[in-house]
Amino acid sequence: MSESLIENWGTALASGAVGAAALTGLHQLATLLSEDSPRMDVVGRRAIVRSIRAAGGTPPPPYSLQRWALAGDLLANSAYYSLVACGREPRVWARAMALGVAAGVGALVLPARLGLGDPPRSGRLPNKVMTISWYLAGALAAAGASRRLRSHAAA
pLDDT in tens, 6-38: 558 888 999 999 999 999 999 999 989 988 888
pTM of the full structure: 0.88
Residue 91, domain extent? 5-154
Counted domains in the chain: 1
What pLDDT does residue 106 have?
96
Distance CA 8, CA 153 (A): 10
- Asked if 116 contacts 50 with a C-beta cutoff of 8 angstroms, the reply is yes
| Confidence at 1, pLDDT banded by 50, 70, 90 | very low
pLDDT in tens, 66-88: 999 999 999 999 999 999 998 87
What pLDDT does residue 10 have?
87
Distance CA 137, CA 133 (A): 6
pLDDT in tens, 38-54: 899 999 999 999 999 99
pLDDT in tens, 120-146: 989 999 999 999 999 999 999 999 999
Distances (CA, A) of 51 to 11, 16, 18, 57: 32, 25, 28, 9
